[in-house]
Amino acid sequence: MNQVHGELQMLWAINEVYCSLKPEDKLNYVKSVSRVTGGGVIMVGDGINDAPALAAATVGIVLAQRASATAAAVADVLLLQDNISEVPYCIAKSRQTTSLVKQSVALALSCIVLAALPSVLGFLPLWLTVLLHEGGTLLVCLNSIRALNNPAWSSKHDLWQWVSKFKSILAFLRRHGTTSGTIKAAPL
């Protein structure tokens, strides 16, 4: 079991994994981590004796096939399949959705301001203001259609980013470091 958790940590860059905890230990640990980090704790559980910890976490994710009714009620996300590999997809989809909502609100507010302000000042007729407002609404609708796309996250993408960072660090060390292990004096 610990080997599986270790593989999950490496694959998804999870900071900490704890297994075989009692319900009260889960709750105390989630509360302490939340206090230390100031929030931002995701608790993933199978729904058996997880309800208190799921409720205390910032985001509670439960595997719905085994979940008790209480765990399903307090969880923020229910995975309908008992497949923990869907958790990164859920996180990526929530980030995508949050980004789209922010974009849509900014787009709508900017269209309203750009249409209403000149109209109030008398520079645009009312019909043109209404047309610009409806155009902004159409743009927001078209932007929201992008939510149907899969989020950009994938484990391959994360691995590629990690490899790229590693290559850039190696390139930097080759350019600025020494390979012979000697110390060179810097010119003044």
pLDDT tens by residue, 35-53: 888 878 888 888 788 889 9
Name the DSSP class of 14.
Answer: -
CA separation for the pair 128, 115 (Å, rounded): 8
Query: 183 pLDDT band (50/70/90 cuts)?
Result: very low
Q: 77 forms bridges with which residues in the sheet?
A: 61
* Token pair of 109 as six digits: 């507010």
- Is-above-0.75 flag for pTM? no
